[in-house]
Amino acid sequence: MPSNEDRQRAASARTGWALSAPALLLLGFAASGPLLIVLVYSFLTPGDYGNVVWKFSLDGWRGILFTRDIFDGTLHLADANLTIFWRSVKLSLLTTAITFAVGFPTAWFIATRPAKSRALWLFLITIPFWTNLLIRTVAINEVIRNEGIINTLLIWTGLITEPLRIIYTDTAVLIGMAYVYLPLMVLPLFAAIDRFDMKLLEAGYDLYASRWQVLRRVILPIVKPGIVAGSILVFVPSLGAYVTPRVLGGGKNMMIGNFIELQFGAGRNWPLGAALSMTLLIIVTIALLIYVRAANRGSPHG
Amino acid sequence: MAERAFSATRLPGFAMIAVAVFLVLYLPIFTLVIFSFNDANSVAIWGGFSLRWYQIAWANDAVKEAAVRSLIIATSAALIATTVATMAALGTTRRAAFKGQTLIYVIINQPLMVPEIVTAVALLIFFGFIKVTTGYQGLGYLIAAHSAFCVPFAYLPIRARLEGMDLSLETAAADLYATPWQTFRKVTLPLLLPGIIAGAMLAFVISLDDVVITEFVKSGGQDTLPTYMLGQIRRAVTPDVNAISTALLVLTVLLLTVFFLLTRTRD
């Protein structure tokens, strides 16, 4: 005979699933479920006018790294694709590094404010976080483009005569991504520093540590879970970025996100687009697993 | 003042960098807002205060239609997402842990983890297939897609609010012979309401801001404000884009302020 506790547990599970069902159905229909279709499409043959022909093929996956020679059918490394991957990874890593370099002092500053003003500073970092990414991209675009604010000011002061060409370069994309993703770095760093016991600093100084040593040996190791969280939160959307490289990079400085779109548009290679999407998803999943492991390892301290 | 000379929490240069960060974060946004009121045609040279770009934007039927469409989608998505998220939050908190709870949690939060471009492509394929099969081309696809990715944003504040509520009031109601539905209507729901409103606001803001998924899911002539802007700035940034941005920005900040005030009391 089932015990009372077992029966209660079973009832709890039934209600839990029943109440969650509408949300799960909605997400299955318009978020998670369609991902399986992308997986299937990555193994099909491209149709002549886009879409696919239902014939199994590995060309989508092969096309990520290789191109087939149109004359003799041999496979070559696809240099154009490699350039795009390399740009995506490089810019995402640089974005992560830059946002950390300026985000850590910012998070530290917020966390060490008196309790009252801390909420306000935090709110100030949260507003851009929730503000339209496109609007922020437009805003930074107005600053760096040829007739933008920086160039207008520099020409007006006579420091330069020709506008600095920043827009439509990798640098523009990098500036844009660092700008739009910075709050994603600051928020988890703040959360980690906020839990940090400031008495440890006094202990460090009492033991004659310099500020640099305290930072290196005391602060950074303890707030490491926050650093990992912030880095992943910046790296993941940077790698999949679409809007920022499209607006600031122009047509040429593509990243993976734009390359995927190209396959579903002018490229007319849906299986390749699907395979690229799956690759991006796999990389992101690995990054998130690293994050979960780091977060679990960090929790006994915090 | 002697105590201020050495502060253990002060790290040299950090405050300066932080202030610079806040300036760099806000200056472009302020500039954008200010130049939306610029009388001149340029987005970099000031020519006096005017509302003409707002008038020009509003006189543009494409902008007006996109604005209405954005609001319809965001309102529907916020309502649907908040409803299902509230149910899911009630189903997954304050009860004996059950098998599959983690799975539910992962599926609900999935839109936060999968890159938008991947979901966008998936929906392009899936909804494209349904469009061809059923012939239906309406706003339903955008509403479904937006509702789905808004679920975690609605779920998280509601769940946080629920976790902070103990069961004693509900138990008391049950002891006084209230039916489960009465208990929910008269006790749980009023207590949970700030969380629900907060969740709905986040969902609304997130839907209003979406570019990538909308861009891939929309049928012809279904631009929302963000996708309309994206199409516009492909050529050159015109000051009416600044006006639209400012309007969206003001709406977002207003909603966020309310959200901030609603959730603040919890701490």
**Span of A152-156, A187-191, B213-217 with lowest mean pLDDT:** A152-156
Residues of A in contact with B88 (CB under 8 A): 19-20, 22-24
* Secondary structure of chain B in HEC code, one letter for each residue: CHHHHCCCCCCCCHHHHHHHHHHHHHHHHHHHHHHCCECCCCCCCCCCECCHHHHHHHHCHHHHHHHHHHHHHHHHHHHHHHHHHHHHHHHHCCCCCCCCHHHHHHHHHHHHHCCHHHHHHHHHHHHHHHHHHHCCCCCHHHHHHHHHHHHHHHHHHHHHHHHCCCCHHHHHHHHCCCCHHHHHHHHHHHHHHHHHHHHHHHHHHHHHHCCHHHHHHCCCCCCCHHHHHHHHCCCCCCHHHHHHHHHHHHHHHHHHHHHHHHHHCCC
From the list A20, A26, A152, which residue is nearest B45 (CB)? A152
User: For position A6, what pLDDT does the model report?
Assistant: 81
Neighbouring-strand partners of residue A52: A46
Query: Among the listed ranges A98-102, A137-141, A290-294, which one has the minimum average pLDDT value?
Result: A290-294
- Which pLDDT value is given to residue B226? 94
The answer to the question of residue A116 being in a domain is yes
Rounded to an integer, what distance in angstroms lies between the CA atom of residue A41 and that of residue B129?
A: 12
A122 assigned to some structural domain: yes
Distance to chain A for B193, nearest Cα, Å: 18
A108: left (phi over 0), alpha (psi -120 to 50) or beta: alpha
Beta carbons of A235 and A92 less than 8 angstroms apart = yes
* Other C-beta atoms lying within 10 Å of the C-beta of residue A205: 16
Is position A108 within any domain?
yes
Residue A288 has φ and ψ, to the nearest 5°, of: -70, -35
Note whether A152 and B45 are within 8 A (CB): yes
A92 to each of A116, A156, A169, A191, B145, how far by Cα in Å? 35, 34, 15, 23, 27
Residue B135 is predicted with a pLDDT of: 92
- Counted residue by residue, chain A has a size of 302
**CA–CA separation, A273 and A47 (whole Å):** 13
Neighbours of B153 (CB within 10 A): 26
Inspect the interface and report whether the beta carbons of B18 and A261 lie closer than 8 Å: no
B264 touches chain A (CB under 8 A): yes
Give B183 to chain A, closest Cα distance, Å: 16
| pLDDT bracket for residue B265 (50, 70, 90) | low
Using CB atoms, pick whichever of A8, A26, A109 lies closest to residue B151.
A26
State the complex-level ipTM. Answer: 0.89
Tell me which of A203 and A99 has the higher pLDDT: A99
Asked whether the beta carbons of residue A131 and residue B95 sit closer than 8 angstroms, the reply is no
Does some domain include residue A174? yes
Give residue B71's identity as a one-letter amino acid code.
Answer: L
Map out the domains of chain B with their CATH numbers.
Answer: 11-50 (no CATH), 60-264 (1.10.3720.10)
Q: What is the pLDDT of residue B43?
A: 64
CA distance B201 to chain A (A): 11
**Interface size between A and B, measured as CB pairs under 8 A:** 280
Predicted pLDDT of residue A301: 45
Q: Which of A119, A80, A56, A94 is nearest to A173 (CA)?
A: A94
> Cα–chain-centroid distance for residue B9?
35
Is the Cβ pair A247, B230 closer than 8 Å?
Answer: yes
Q: For residues A271 and B102, is the Cβ–Cβ distance under 8 A?
A: no
Residue at A64 is within a domain: no
Q: Which of A3, A14, A142 to mutate to test the interface with B (most CBs of B within 10 A)?
A: A142
On whether the CB atoms of residues A26 and A34 are closer than 8 A, the answer is no
- A19, part of any domain: no
Round the CA-based radius of gyration of chain B to a whole number and report it: 23
For chain A, give me the number of helices (H) and strands (E)? 15, 4
State the residue for tokens 């440890």.
Answer: A200
* Window B:40-99, CB contacts with A under 8 Å: 42-45, 80-81, 83-85, 87-88, 90-92, 95-96, 98-99
Q: Report the pLDDT value the prediction gives residue B173, as an integer from 0 to 100.
A: 87
Q: How many domains does chain A have?
A: 1
* Integer Cα distance of B239 and B42 in angstroms: 7
**pLDDT cut 90: percent of chain A above it:** 44
Residue with tokens 């107005």: A142
User: For position B107, what pLDDT does the model report?
Assistant: 93
Nearest by Cα to B123 from B210, B226, B248, B225: B210
Report CA torsion sign: A243, B212, B41, A251: positive
Give B-chain residues touching A143 at CB under 8 angstroms. Answer: 27-28, 31
> Taking 50 as the threshold, does the pLDDT of residue A264 lie above it?
yes
The shares of helix, strand and coil residues in chain A, as percent rounded to the nearest 5, are: 70, 5, 25
B32–A125: do the CB atoms touch at under 8 Å? no
- Alpha-carbon dihedral sign for residues A33, A38, A41, A42: negative
Residue range A203-227: mean pLDDT, rounded: 85
Q: Which residue of B has its CA nearest to A273?
A: B121
State yes or no: pLDDT of A23 exceeds 70: yes
Rounded CA separation A187/A283 (Å): 23
- Of residues A139, A145, A236, nearest to B29 (C-beta): A139
Whole-number pLDDT of residue B3: 46
Residues 6+ apart with CB under 8 A from A161: A155
Nearest CB among A38, A138, A183 relative to B125 is that of A38
CA distance A203 to A205: 6
Strands A52-53 and A66-68, bridge-based pairing: unpaired
Whole-angstrom distance, CA of residue A231 vs CA of residue A186: 10
Within 10 angstroms of residue A159's Cβ, the number of other Cβ atoms is 9
**Helix, strand, or coil (residue A66):** strand
For residue A68, list its beta bridge partners: A75
Whether residue B151 and residue A23 make contact (CB cut-off 8 A), yes or no, is yes
The parent domain of residue A111 ranges over 90-192+222-302
Nearest CA in chain B to A152: B44
Q: What is the CATH number of the domain that holds A235?
A: 1.10.3720.10
The answer on pLDDT for A208 being more than 60 is yes
Determine the distance in angstroms separating the CA of B87 from the nearest CA of chain A, rounded to an integer: 5
The predicted-structure confidence for B196-252, as pLDDT tens digits, reads as follows 998 999 899 999 999 999 999 999 899 999 999 998 887 666 778 889 999 999 998
User: Helix, strand or coil for residue A3?
Assistant: coil
Q: Which helix or strand (DSSP H or E) is residue A45 part of?
A: strand A45-46
Q: For chain A, say whether B241 makes contact (Cβ under 8 Å).
A: yes
pLDDT given for residue A214 in this prediction: 83
Residue A259 counted as domain residue: yes
Average pLDDT, chain A: 88
Single pTM value for the model? 0.89
Nearest CB partner across the interface for A31, out of B13, B110, B242: B110
Is A186 inside any structural domain?
yes
If you ran DSSP here, which 8-state letter would residue A164 be given? Answer: P
B11–A215: do the CB atoms touch at under 8 Å?
yes
Measured between alpha carbons, how far is B46 from B40 in angstroms, rounded to an integer?
6
Instruction: List the single residue in B with minimal CA-CA distance to A140.
Output: B28
Say if B201 is an interface residue toward chain A (CB within 8 Å).
no
Lowest-confidence segment of A134-138, A151-155, A187-191 by average pLDDT: A151-155
Q: What separation in angstroms does the CA of A279 have from each of A161, A292, B203, B217?
A: 45, 20, 29, 21
> What's chain A's Rg over C-alpha atoms?
25
Q: Say whether pLDDT at A221 is over 80.
A: yes
